[in-house]
Structure 1
Amino acid sequence: MTTLEFSYSLNKLSSSLKPFALKLTRDMDDANDLMQDTMVKAFTNKDKFTEGTNLKAWLYTIMKNTFITNYQRMVRRGTFVDTTDNLHYINSGDVLVENGAYGDFTMDDIHEAIEGLDEVYKTPFMMHYRGFKYHEIAEKLDIPIGTVKNRIHIARKILKDDLHVYRHKN
């Protein structure tokens, strides 16, 4: 397979990888980064691809392994080794909370944001939060399942916008 053919095949399959990247990362920006990393790795390692095998499966494997490697790297970055005699592994964060006040403020803001939702969005969102499945919510509220999914999506988007001050910045 020539470089041009390989590049064309990668480009053609990239759209089918996007949902998988989003499922792994749960964030659009991180999903785009994962997509880019996957494509770069695939292109730089094209000589390792055996022609006649499933390119899509090969790309999914690269993406999954890249995600796992990045996740493990992130976890290791937040862990240090205690060199005392007991040799404990301790997870350390950048933030040390002395009391629960910050958490209380956060929860108050979350509850306030949820209470601020229109009832049409809040009810299905809270039902889903409490563990109801989409079809159960649709039955109880007597609305189509697509409407349930849409309302929960809109509620999440509104809450994300309302609670933007808590967005994690790296």
Structure 2
Amino acid sequence: MNSTSDFGHILQEAAASLRPFAFRMVKDKEAVDDLIQETLYKALNNKDKFSAGTNLKAWLYTIMKNTFISQYQKNSRRQTFVDTTENQHFINSGERIAYNDALSNLSTQEIIDAIESLAEHYRVPFLMYYRGFKYQEIAERLDIPIGTVKNRIHIARKQLKEKLSKA
């Protein structure tokens, strides 16, 4: 392989074997043709990096795979939208306004009464959790298993939901 035209001829012969590999990466015929053309162009420009006697097809497959990955990454970056505006929470709220009826339908005293009506073994873990204790901390302070803590808080929530939905 002394000249560029000899190397170009060898590349053309190997190009047919690139098509099935290219189709596994891209499904569009035009994109396959573009990928093969780009691969052969890069191979021709870098013929001095190819060692005679080594596997030409493997070298071309590597070039093709790297070309595909580079193009994919470039397209992904191009399609990424970065919003640099200030955080405006109500920008597109329009007519989709949700009102919290809980504030108008329940008084604080009703909520307190509902919590106080819970059995003590449900109320205590629930209130501790409400005040910011972690499950593990509650379990240690009450000297009960963590699973029991989670279960009691779950039951307390369920009972409160039932009681407050009737209010």
Q: TM-score, normalised by structure 2?
A: 0.48
Larger RCO (CA within 8 A; separation ≥ 6): 2
Which structure is larger by alpha-carbon Rg, 1 or 2? 2
